[in-house]
Structure 1
Amino acid sequence: MPHCGVHPGPDAVDDPIKFDDTFDVPVFVKHSSPMDVQGRPRPSQVASAAAPWPSRGLPKTGSYRVTTSWRAILHAAITVGRDVSPWLAHVPHLAGHEILSRCAPLQAYLRRIPVACLGPDPRYALVPNEVYSLGTEVTAKGAFSYRIGMTMAEWLCWGQIGMSHSVHAESTYPLGVDPADWDERRNKPDLVGMQSLAPSGWLIEAKGERRLSKTKLREGAAQLDLDGLIDGSHRRVLCGTSIEDRVFMTLDIDTRYDADLDLTATDPDPMAGPDVSNDDDALYQLARASMLIYLVLREAEQTSIVPVGVAADRRGPAAQVGGSGAVTLLERDWSTSSLRDRMRRTPSSRRLPKESGIDMLTAAVPGTGMTVGLSRRVYAACSALLGLETDLARRAEQEANEAAARLWRTTDGAAPDEDPPLRQDTTAVEERISVRYHVVWGTTLSPSAPGAEGAQWVPRTDVRSEYERIAYNRLQQDHQEELLVTAREAFRSADSHDWESVAARDSPLTIDGPPRQLESATADTYLAINPALIV
């Protein structure tokens, strides 16, 4: 356990988490409606959680032990969060910095320790290290709680339950909601997703805390109380992550719609995740979640093609039965080993038939010790999608400029600290933002201005950004069908083209992947990490 004094305790280890380490995450599941969160489990309950995670369907109420890998956590960290397209399209070289900002805190503050077990193989727990326990101030710990809470919610819902990649709730509108009401609501859930288990729409609140409390979980349950705001059935899920004394999770599942569901009509393998080959919405969410990786690949000076076996496709005929999540560790994957053996015997073969394997375009992420990659079909979908979303972002920026001009106001004799009235021709979105921010649409620029009586008001930067975000979200919704079709057409066409035409560059083949790195993959994404960089 972490020592509470100034100096590290006798069990302190001068060793960050090893990227090749696996470890166990206890997960405590409860089904209820209305959501009835429980208090923090006792240390003995955390230590004794041992039931295996189910390979099909939602887990029943109980305590589980989920064995995972550091690579699976990093996959989730890279993909979870806000839609990056509107701003990274202008500064694409910062995509690697965004990946670094998401992954570095996890590496900096966590390590694993051995725990007692009955079997012959060692087992490990994930714990905060001495940098976190002794060297980190309270504010920084709070920021880390948010980061690990979001990451672990994605790891659990996408990586273990088979939900699609999530979209941040500030970057989308769930089905059955009025956009104006959604924009106006302050305490939204964190994430929106979908799953083949009915109800297909998922709303997720992620809570992370140094020592997860019932109070924090009650706050999360309140954010999921969306009655009257959303029509139709949605799966409401509360994911809690506790950091001390070891990392564990709680999963509260609202069952209010379960009695009305035809559970016999669900996907035969829901834990494999939505089928992006046929599901346009799932493909769209995968492409959005992969945009950071796409931009790293597009801007990289050096790229290479790495072959991955077909077993990484959880929906393919060669998928490993009863696999431990969405991410396949390639050192354990027979299909990758046999594929690479064949390619070594026939080195002239660079393009893989679809049934033989997946050729990933990969590149190193500077400063991280990680190599990331995408399949041809998702790279093409990201490329086409980013072009259209960039156009929408420019339109949103133009709308913000026009709104700024319309919302210049004069006080006409009012005191400088009073809120001048809005112009009569403001749009509905402008008025919503003005109501939400009160006076902050403008700040006093000068006591007078040419052509105006009284003080001149100009839009404040944070409110202008808020307007752009809402305008962009609305444009995305208005053009949703076009976005889905654009991603699908590019996804399909990539199967009939090689990497040189898809990415407009000639990349060498690296049969065995990056040297001295530990590899992992899904059907469309690749992540390798270098343990040699860790002390």
Structure 2
Amino acid sequence: MHGQPHMQVLCGTSLPAPQKWEQDHVFLSVDAMKVAEPPAWPGKATPSPADPSGSGSEAHIAEDDNALLLTAQSQMLVYRALAHGVVDDLRIVPLSSARGERHRSSAGSLSCIEEDEETQVVRHRLDDDPPATEQHMRGRRGVADFIAGRIPGTGTHVGMSRRLFAACQNLDVLQVRAAREAEASAVPLPIESHVVWDDEALYAVTRGEQLVYRERQQPRERREAVRDGFEQSDSMSWRMLLGDREPVVDWRRTGLLEGATAETYIAIEASDPVLRSARD
């Protein structure tokens, strides 16, 4: 829903050290902020090239490396949930490959699948000759295979395209490597029982470590990595991308409200409290 007023909510939990359970408390913090405008691009007043559809950086990922990197960064939580087995019901969802022809409006690029005529045609064609595996579906005319899964304990399903998944995978490799290098080079805090660290001192040390971490993630290397994954994804199977897991092909779900952008997928079960409260 790029460009629409929304709330940005940040949640955090503080846990005491194992030896301090009796002295310290567990607490939860929630910071909420109203966001009325789409996030600004670093160093740019408006997205470039121009984006009249309001679809954000995702509309330009085919030709703009910065836009691809921005999109991959915004989807890293979804990628890690899909890649590392956090989701339930992992499956391949076929959509139309006509990404640029999907319904768009000034509200953003998310469109309902039930209104996506191209995807409906693709799925009817698959109904006539159902693919048993991913291999049987690859190469079918007009088909783009997305990976999707349900967030445990909810009725929400999230997913993404093969090429965005591969781009996120390459970015994840760089982020993990940079984090390990930063951890290895970090100077340990000289915390002793008789030393009291105030918030300002802790912030200065933490901030310094963050700067080291960011400096190690070279922008050019990240842009090249996500572009390589994006361009090479067609030569990779989902089994390769998912570490030898082979998801089933499944698109015939009832009671599921589906939506998609050019590269991302989301669905909500009709029984989910979010939809029930909206109807009430």
Pairwise TM-score range, normalised by the shorter structure: 0.7 to 0.9
1:295 aligns with 2:35: no
Q: 1:366 to 1:456 in 2, by over 3 A?
A: closer
Aligned residue identity for 1:368: T
1:308 to 90, 95, 114: 95
Shift of 1:271: 3.6
Corresponding residue number in structure 2 for 1:335: 118
Corresponding residue number in structure 2 for 1:380: 166
TM-score by length of 1: 0.41
Shift of 1:385: 0.9
Contact 1:343 1:511 in 2 (8 A): no
Corresponding residue number in structure 2 for 1:495: 234
Q: 1:299 to 1:324 in 2, by over 3 A?
A: same
Which has the greater radius of gyration?
A: 1
Q: 1:270 to 1:338 in 2, by over 3 A?
A: closer
Contact 1:369 1:529 in 2 (8 A): yes
Per-residue CA deviations over 1:305-332 (Å, capped at 9, x if unaligned) read 0112245x2xx2x233656421111121
Per-residue CA deviations over 1:325-349 (Å, capped at 9, x if unaligned) read 2111112111111111011111137
Contact 1:358 1:523 in 2 (8 A): no
1:521 to 233, 253, 260: 260
- Unaligned segments of structure 1, at least 5 residues: 1-71, 83-139, 158-165, 167-191, 195-200, 203-233, 237-264, 409-442, 447-454
Corresponding residue number in structure 2 for 1:508: 248
Distance in 1 separating the partners of 2:64 and 2:158: 24
Q: Residue 186 of structure 2 aligns to a residue in which SS?
A: helix
Q: 1:302 to 1:76 in 2, by over 3 A?
A: farther
Aligned residue identity for 1:193: W
Q: Residue 388 of structure 1 aligns to a residue in which SS?
A: helix
Contact 2:54 2:107 in 1 (8 A): no
Mapping for residues 303-452 of structure 1, pairs under 5 Å = 303-311=90-98, 313=99, 316=100, 318-320=101-103, 322=105, 324-348=107-131, 350=134, 351-353=137-139, 356-401=142-187, 404=189, 445-446=193-194
RMSD: 3.6
Contact 1:445 1:457 in 2 (8 A): no
Q: Residue 223 of structure 2 aligns to a residue in which SS?
A: helix
Shift of 1:381: 1.1
Contact 1:444 1:457 in 2 (8 A): no
Distance in 2 separating the partners of 1:347 and 1:295: 29
Count residues with an aligned counterpart. 247
Corresponding residue number in structure 2 for 1:285: 70
Distance in 1 separating the partners of 2:62 and 2:266: 21
Distance in 2 separating the partners of 1:321 and 1:354: 25
The structure with higher relative contact order (CA 8 Å, sep 6+) is: 2
Contact 1:310 1:319 in 2 (8 A): no
Aligned residue identity for 1:343: L
TM-score by length of 2: 0.74
Corresponding residue number in structure 1 for 2:14: none
Contact 2:102 2:116 in 1 (8 A): no
Distance in 1 separating the partners of 2:216 and 2:140: 36
Distance in 2 separating the partners of 1:266 and 1:506: 38
Contact 2:146 2:159 in 1 (8 A): yes
Corresponding residue number in structure 2 for 1:8: none
- Unaligned segments of structure 2, at least 5 residues: 11-27
Q: Residue 303 of structure 1 aligns to a residue in which SS?
A: strand
Aligned residue identity for 1:327: L
Distance in 2 separating the partners of 1:76 and 1:387: 33
